[in-house]
Structure 1
């Protein structure tokens, strides 16, 4: 993997990780087009640069992260379902990660849901409604749906929050917060399994990737909150539908795509 390829993947990660469009689906396309999806380092790299994206949330919302002990307990409660089902269904999840058709269908179905979610879950202007422990648990259960590749962790948790009566902005921000323990745990676990494959020459590439993912994710989060508050989910829904159809079309034409 060249430095430029690493930068491109990091930009894709930073833009898509917190948007309801599935970073997995975009990583498939980007790495496949560049011809590096088969490399073991690519698989490790795409996991490692999530730490840069996580750091962007902590920096942007640092006051919220150090506000109270109850905040951490709510995040922990919301994180528990993903931790439990992630360990329980790890083999099944790995199998699904190898199925590009699953990703394409998930993008398509998820896009249709996003097109209509604003009608299903009426948005509220109240951004100060407190998220309780039971609310956090239910949002955490919605997050488990994202174990299906292509669903999007961000989309599932935001929708879960809105269905509990929270505003788009509040649901999106809690989704960002929940990403920190969830992605840190998933990324740390995978990194422990692959750290011995990292060569000295790879360290620079990993550092550059994390820095780029960090900067791009900060900009993406700011844009997403502003856009979502004003316009809702429809644009993201249509985009997912087009992307899902594109992947299915590529597969039907014989083009080979691999999950990274």
Structure 2
């Protein structure tokens, strides 16, 4: 096994874990990092999706007690059933649109310039959302109704476009729909579990012909580094949102997007690898 390939897998895992739950687009960062590292062939695209499972394990670890309580209470606890139903409802729209348009999106939109453009647009949306004075009517995820969950699920579909950010769409969209900052963030975490595990398993099954047992060390390294960095990021983000807005992430998105576009068009950086 090429040791440099394992180093690249570790770097990609760290990028995935640090960006998956922040409103800055993990997919966008993986596309850009893969371009710079020369880690962007067909197999690498499967790798990018598969290592999201490492980040999801981090969420499961952080919310282990809540998840166990929900699963154990499905037969007797109405609140647990409603919570599980809400996650399922929010999960469906992305599945349907992903199956319908996922292939076309990958073929035409997975490019550094598209990612940079959506970085900028997403940053402007976050700035606009943070300047709006929307009164939260839903303080916790347990207060959400099925209709609220469906709306968040529909908003998540914007993240099919790389660079948009799944977490950004669900958190900022949830806040605009009346969820408190913490409720929107936590529901985004919970919704990521079926969404990203489903995407990872589907990608591995669909592209199984590309893979072999020789690829296992690379995937394991990516999963490990994705898990560790995501675990640290989730714990930090929960503390951060108690006293801060998402405005700094908006400016980061805009600045990063401008840099990518400028360096791409001037030829300073070949983002295509």
Q: TM-score, normalised by structure 1?
A: 0.92
Partner of 2:32: 29
- Distance in 2 (CA, whole Å) between partners of 1:231 and 1:16 is 18
Secondary structure of 1:106's counterpart equals: helix
CA positional deviation for 1:90: 2.7
Partner of 2:261: 248
- Distance in 2 (CA, whole Å) between partners of 1:121 and 1:196 is 51
Partner of 2:74: none
Corresponding residue to 1:105 among 117, 130, 133: 117
CA positional deviation for 1:86: 1.4
When residues 123 and 53 of structure 1 are mapped into structure 2, their CA distance, relative to the original with a 3 A threshold, is farther
Corresponding residue to 1:167 among 180, 184, 188: 180
CA positional deviation for 1:43: 1.7
- Distance in 2 (CA, whole Å) between partners of 1:193 and 1:87 is 12
Corresponding residue to 1:150 among 163, 168, 172: 163
- Distance in 1 (CA, whole Å) between partners of 2:160 and 2:138 is 30
- Distance in 2 (CA, whole Å) between partners of 1:12 and 1:236 is 16
Unaligned runs of 5+ in 1: none
- Distance in 2 (CA, whole Å) between partners of 1:121 and 1:181 is 31
CA positional deviation for 1:174: 0.2
* 1:157-196 alignment runs, 5 A limit: 157-196=170-209
When residues 251 and 202 of structure 1 are mapped into structure 2, their CA distance, relative to the original with a 3 A threshold, is same
CA positional deviation for 1:217: 0.4
Secondary structure of 2:119's counterpart equals: helix
Secondary structure of 2:110's counterpart equals: coil
Partner of 1:56: 58
- Distance in 1 (CA, whole Å) between partners of 2:27 and 2:102 is 17
Contact persistence 1:65–1:71 (CA under 8 A): no
Partner of 2:7: 4
- Distance in 1 (CA, whole Å) between partners of 2:241 and 2:58 is 19
Tell me the number of residue pairs that the alignment of Structure 1 and Structure 2 aligns.
Answer: 258
* Deviates most, 116-125 or 215-224: 116-125
When residues 175 and 198 of structure 1 are mapped into structure 2, their CA distance, relative to the original with a 3 A threshold, is same
Contact persistence 2:91–2:153 (CA under 8 A): yes
- Distance in 2 (CA, whole Å) between partners of 1:153 and 1:233 is 15
- Distance in 1 (CA, whole Å) between partners of 2:36 and 2:133 is 37
Contact persistence 1:16–1:26 (CA under 8 A): yes
Contact persistence 2:50–2:204 (CA under 8 A): yes
Unaligned runs of 5+ in 2: 71-79
Partner of 2:232: 219
RMSD over aligned Cα, in angstroms?
Answer: 1.9
CA positional deviation for 1:125: 9.7
Q: TM-score, normalised by structure 2?
A: 0.88
Secondary structure of 2:39's counterpart equals: coil
CA positional deviation for 1:124: 4.5
Partner of 1:69: 81
* Deviates most, 68-77 or 154-163: 68-77
Corresponding residue to 1:79 among 87, 91, 94: 91
